[in-house]
Amino acid sequence: MSILLSPDIRTVILLLFAGNLLAIVMLSAYRRKEGLELAYRRYIAGKIFQALAWMLIGARGTIPDWLSADVGNGSLYVGFAFEGLAFVLLERREKKFTRLYAAVTITGIFLFSMFSTTPALRVALSSASVGSITAMTAILMLYSIQASRLRVLVACFYIAFSIMLACRVAYAVLYPNQISVFQNGPIQAFTYLMTFAFTLVGGAGFLLLLKEQSDDALAIAVNELQIRETLLTNIFNTSSVAIFLANDDGYISMANQRMAEMFGRTIDSLIGSPYLDCVAEAQKDEAHDQLQKLLSSEISFLKLEREYSRPDGSHFWGQLTATHMHDGQKVGHQLVGVIADITDLKLAEVNMRKMAHHDPLTGLANRALFSDRLQQAMMVAKRDQTRFALLYIDLDKFKLVNDSFGHQVGDKLLQEVALRISRCVRDSDIVARVGGDEFVVLLRSVNTTENALLVAEKVRISHAKNFKIEEHDLAISCSIGVAMYPDDGTSETELSAKSDEAMYKAKHGGRDQVQFATITTTNNSL
């Protein structure tokens, strides 16, 4: 009994670390249903941050105090925020919830970093922040579209945990000399063990809610398949996805209004036409083979993404789910297909891939993509015994614009700068934004410094004309550093360092000029 009332706190923290790792493993093995991916990722992220937090907090005394206390507690707040947001996102997708959790978390991190001057204050502020997040989660879970019994039960446990943390805050305020993070005692033991239980219950609750969501969706799907012809007709007329039936020759025998709208045709023109007429030309052969396999019972189910065409020549992406069923006499069979328009999803996937390699503000390549292209250029240049130039561009007086007119004007100015730089180079060259007002340009197959200088001066001169941003007439310039491969370096690090040094030469030399890593050239050189 004494061990339970006063365990070694570091041991309990180790249990918390292990508990979060266990939750991560359990969730990683869970096969979640499509559509719940966002909530699933948020919960995994929350557990990762919590595991990191307990690892840092548990290492108190062996690592710097700011790392254990500030970063550790900050990670804890972020972890609980992600976890709470995951429960909310199981039903709702409003961005306001994300902003709300972010605001509470940032406030907690700020207060802890500013006012946690004593062990008791650390305990109080940490408990208050986590308690606020969990209480907010409980309220949002109860304020639910469909607050199931399971959801209410999980929310009640969150409320109990929040109350316990509130009591801990009160104890830390009333008895500041009797509590600290690693001080043994019933209060601390109960707090950490309750947190451990909360970790297990929260993980189990989230898995059960995921299953509940999946079971509900499955029940709806099964119910729809059992609906008779009269009800099927009503679904056809009101469904937000395209639904059609095709005979054993692949000709459409029934279609709903949504399919007519999706394909830009009338229902009468769809009925009696081959399903393959709806498929984009490039995919017709593959679609024909899959259709024959489905109709011949070689395969019983088909789910894939496919490009479709309309009579006006436009295309869209659809997710096809298809199966076959026997007719009333069990002689022939019909194809049952559902097509959901996923064009927006495809565009989002493209945008996500683009965001991973491009600057979201200017659309230029980011540092990662530029690094990859630079390494490729070095390999080609080494193989072909050619040269190329690397330009490092830094805007002059940009900070003054931001300070004077605000970041909104500054962002629009950066977008205009990106356009001007891009117009000065060839399509085969690479322009990237690598910092706030810093840009780099890779000039492929530039074998002489003279050619590199021509392009650099073209970029510099392009900034001589004032920028018209909203109602402001802005005058800025740029300082450019140039490094040549292989003269100034044969590695990415060397070239980047040399071009950066050359850019600072231009800055210190009066700005609005071009400087080479090995050759100095001013703005009057042309």
In a domain, 189, yes or no: yes
Asked if 135 and 14 sit in the same domain, the reply is yes
Residue 9 structure tokens: 């706190």
Place of tokens 């970041």: 407
What is the CATH number for 402? Answer: 3.30.70.270
Asked if 86 and 198 sit in the same domain, the reply is yes
Where does a domain end: 170, 203, 222? 222
Sorted by sequence, the CB contacts under 8 Å of residue 25 that are 6+ apart come out as none
Residue 454: which domain range? 358-516
In a domain, 430, yes or no: yes
Amino acid at 78: V
* Residue 239 DSSP symbol: -
**Residue ranges of the alpha helices (H) in 437-491?**
449-462
Asked if 319 and 420 sit in the same domain, the reply is no
Asked if 363 and 337 sit in the same domain, the reply is no
DSSP assignment of 344-371: HHHHHHHHHHHHHHB-TTT-SB-HHHHH
In a domain, 348, yes or no: no
For residues 436 and 407, the answer to whether their CB atoms sit within 8 Å is no
Q: Which contiguous run of DSSP H or E holds residue 138?
A: helix 119-142
Sheet containing 315-326: order of strands: 252-255, 242-246, 333-341, 315-326, 301-309
3-state secondary structure of 276: helix
Distances (CA, A) of 35 to 24, 161, 220, 303, 387: 20, 29, 15, 16, 50
Amino acid at 479: S
Give me the pLDDT at residue 333, please. 59
Where does a domain end: 222, 256, 279? 222
Distances (CA, A) of 305 to 128, 293, 334, 338, 515: 48, 17, 21, 12, 52
In a domain, 523, yes or no: no
Candidates 163, 211, 201; CA nearest to 19 is: 201
Give me the pLDDT at residue 219, please. 64
Asked if 15 and 120 sit in the same domain, the reply is yes
For residues 363 and 418, the answer to whether their CB atoms sit within 8 Å is yes
Place of tokens 């609906």: 227
Asked if 194 and 253 sit in the same domain, the reply is no
For residues 430 and 442, the answer to whether their CB atoms sit within 8 Å is yes
Give me the pLDDT at residue 5, please. 47
Place of tokens 């948020």: 42
Give me the pLDDT at residue 423, please. 94
Asked if 81 and 197 sit in the same domain, the reply is yes
Written as tens digits, the pLDDT of the chain (526 aa) is: 344 445 566 777 777 787 788 778 777 766 555 556 778 888 888 888 888 888 888 887 788 888 888 888 888 889 888 888 888 877 666 678 888 888 989 998 888 888 888 888 888 888 888 888 888 888 888 876 566 788 888 888 888 888 888 888 888 888 888 777 666 666 666 777 777 777 777 777 777 777 776 776 666 656 665 656 677 677 667 778 888 888 888 888 888 888 888 889 988 898 889 988 888 888 888 888 888 888 777 888 888 888 898 998 888 988 898 887 765 555 555 788 888 888 888 887 777 776 778 898 998 999 989 999 999 999 999 999 999 999 999 999 899 998 899 999 999 999 999 999 999 999 889 999 998 899 999 999 788 999 999 999 999 999 989 999 988 999 999 999 999 999 999 999 999 999 999 999 999 989 999 999 985 444 433 3
Where does a domain end: 341, 368, 396? 341
Asked if 139 and 277 sit in the same domain, the reply is no
Report how far residue 141's alpha carbon sits from residue 212's, in angstroms, rounded to the nearest whole number: 15
What is the CATH number for 241? Answer: 3.30.450.20
pTM: 0.41
Asked if 370 and 331 sit in the same domain, the reply is no
Residue 435 structure tokens: 């910092």
Amino acid at 472: H
In a domain, 346, yes or no: no
Asked if 67 and 159 sit in the same domain, the reply is yes
What is the CATH number for 28? Answer: 1.20.1070
Give me the pLDDT at residue 353, please. 73
Count structural domains, the chain. Answer: 3
Euclidean distance between the first and final Cα of the chain, in Å? 87
